[in-house]
Amino acid sequence: MHRFLAVFFFWVLSLSVCAHEMRPAIATFQFGEDILSLQLEVNLEAWMAGIDPGLTDTDDSLNAPMYDQLRALSSEELGQAFAVRYSDFVKVIKVSAMEQSLQITIDDLEVLPADDDKLSRISLVNLSVDLPVGATNFVYEVDLSMPNTAVRLFLADADPRVEFVKTGEATGPISLDSAVSRSFLTIVLEYMELGFAHILPKGLDHIVFILGLTLISKRAVDLLVQVTAFTIAHSVTLALGLYGVINLPASIVEPLIAASIIYVAVENCWHERVAAQRTLVIFLFGLLHGLGFAGVLIELGLPQRDFLVGLLSFNIGVEFGQLVVIAVAYLVVGIWVLNKSWYRTRVAIPASILIGLIGTFWFVERVAW
């Protein structure tokens, strides 16, 4: 068991120190006066280096050295290197209408400065789409060389529409008529999937936090109360964050999320059972995690028209992800050792210490940003 915990610890640390995290792209279409334009927000160096978009970290690719060389370029130098690849790039941006592929032209490139050298640099590629006369909708296909993409359409006098597309897949027909809207079920399923993905596999800190909650919760009612408090709390701040009532920078939220992991780990070592005040503390930390969730939807631009449906669906996806984490922990470990006399000394405390160390590492790393 101790060997398993040690392997888990080093695996988590290896994920947390990834220098070049792969991020999804955002394709923003603007339509007005029969003109369709596209701004693609993407990790351009990853595409130029031929990094597999299915990876979570560019360091896992054989082309990582080329990626690092491109990252070392200045914005101007990257733009010059990209200009040589214009003809290749427009071939992977696939937009079609009226059953024909549309001609695309690159207008300009803006390389955004990275807030942290450990994070991927994002570029804005502005493109013009040659839309045929009479086209009422279009389809956007994500090439196999491009990452999962949030496709957004902005129409005059209408809320933006958002659709999430995986690598190698295409959207359904996206209507250019502001009066046409997507089905309720489609919106629900898309935001549920996004919420679930934010826990599994992307929400490593949230996974560690939930695992910490399970370690001394031998009774189902104790775990249920904690998870419910956490759910209510992050739902509140998720909504407030999306409405703009609360807007804390990631430099504050992320270290505090790491601190919540440390607290749970320390209390697990200090108490044999779930203390009464723990639920209140979990609720307070849930408020912080909710702000972290809000950042995802804010970045993608949740349409006002779909706000309530998207918010609730995203939350359902998050809760389903959390329940899967709890179920897996119980079936893989808990069901076998939870009622053993040595469970606390051999499992709960060692696992809590490792979780506390992980939280401490993240806290120091995030404060150092």
Q: What is the structure's pLDDT at 322? A: 85
Enter the tokens of residue 324: 């899967």
Q: What is the structure's pLDDT at 302? A: 61
Which residues pair with residue 28 across a beta bridge?
Answer: 39, 152
Q: What is the structure's pLDDT at 225? A: 81
DSSP 183: -
Q: How far apart are CA 204 and CA 292, in angstroms?
A: 12
Q: Which residues are within 8 A (CB) of 169 and not within 5 positions of it... i.e. 6 or more apart?
A: 141, 142
Which is it for strands 25-32 and 149-155: parallel, antiparallel or unpaired? parallel
Q: What is the structure's pLDDT at 282? A: 82
DSSP 170: B
What does the pLDDT look like over 182-222, one tens digit per residue? 677 877 887 888 888 878 877 788 888 888 888 877 777 77
* Residue ranges, the chain, pLDDT below 70: 1-21, 114-119, 157-159, 178-182, 242, 274-276, 293-306, 369
Q: What is the structure's pLDDT at 2? A: 44
Global pTM reads 0.62
Enter the tokens of residue 11: 């695996």
Burial class (CB in 10 A: 0-12, 13-18, 19+), 205: buried
DSSP 21: B
Enter the tokens of residue 297: 């939807």
Q: What is the structure's pLDDT at 88? A: 94
Question: In what helix (H) or strand (E) does residue 263 lie, and over which residues does it extend?
Answer: helix 250-270
